[in-house]
Chains A and B, each alone.
Chain A
Amino acid sequence: GNSVTQMEGPVTLSEEAFLTINCTYTATGYPSLFWYVQYPGEGLQLLLKATKADDKGSNKGFEATYRKETTSFHLEKGSVQVSDSAVYFCALSGNTNAGKSTFGDGTTLTVKP
């Protein structure tokens, strides 16, 4: 079946530091890939997504590129802010069974001033 493996957390950074959260996946076919963010006490919301190989998703300074050759979708941001402190989830929806969604374990990011 499908699986998503995320970089283990928690991650603690100083403001303006560079962020990378690694995500690799296993899936048949050509899944769509997502990053969702969960702020304290809230539900998840979409951060960015990519639906085919070599696509780059971007939003709010975050970026991730769909790399089929390495089955990866790493999340990056050049300069994090305190307000980016949250839990980040990598996820996929496979096109062979579009209804099934698989999420990673989540990575908790804390940004200190």
Chain B
Amino acid sequence: EAQVTQNPRYLITVTGKKLTVTCSQNMNHEYMSWYRQDPGLGLRQIYYSMNVEVTDKGDVPEGYKVSRKEKRNFPLILESPSPNQTSLYFCASSLSAGAKTQYFGPGTRLLVL
């Protein structure tokens, strides 16, 4: 089954404790992206990747890192999480950027205490 998977689905952590949210797709998509969803703010793009080893900032990249060492995986790293990063995070992928449909993962709900 074609899908985007994220792990973990739920995470409670404390301020400053490094964490990684994994994202994997099995559709051989070139483009991948991370978003955060907050009430009243819709989805905001954090980082995106046009292909392996090519990443770029979205609208809200502060406090996040990403890497794209292989095509199927695009982990999101929070090196020193803070409470304002409490949010619902979505990973998405598509064949390429622009006009192509994005396929979203199920989401990761993060609470930073």
Contacts and interface: CB of A to CB of B under 8 A. Distances in A.
Interface of A: 1, 6, 32, 34, 36, 42-46, 49, 51, 89, 91, 93-95, 98-106
A91 B40 CA distance: 15
B42 A101 contact: no
Nearest to B88: A43
Contact of B45 (A36, A101, A106): A101
A100 B55 CA distance: 11
Contacts, number: 68
Interface stretch (B13-21, B63-71, B102-110): B102-110
Interface residues of B, number: 28
A43 B105 contact: yes
A39 B92 CA distance: 16
B56 interface: yes
Interface string B15-57: 0000000000000000101010000111111001010000010
Contact of B42 (A43, A46, A51, A104): A104
B112 interface: no
Given A34-B101, A95-B99, A105-B42, 15 more contacts: A43-B4, A43-B90, A43-B106, A44-B43, A44-B104, A49-B101, A98-B97, A98-B98, A99-B31, A99-B56, A99-B97, A101-B58, A103-B43, A104-B42, A106-B42
B100 to A, nearest CB: 8
B98 A95 contact: yes
22 contacts: A1-B59, A32-B99, A43-B4, A43-B90, A43-B105, A44-B43, A44-B102, A45-B104, A49-B99, A51-B99, A89-B42, A93-B99, A98-B96, A99-B56, A100-B58, A101-B45, A101-B102, A102-B45, A102-B59, A103-B44, A105-B41, A105-B42
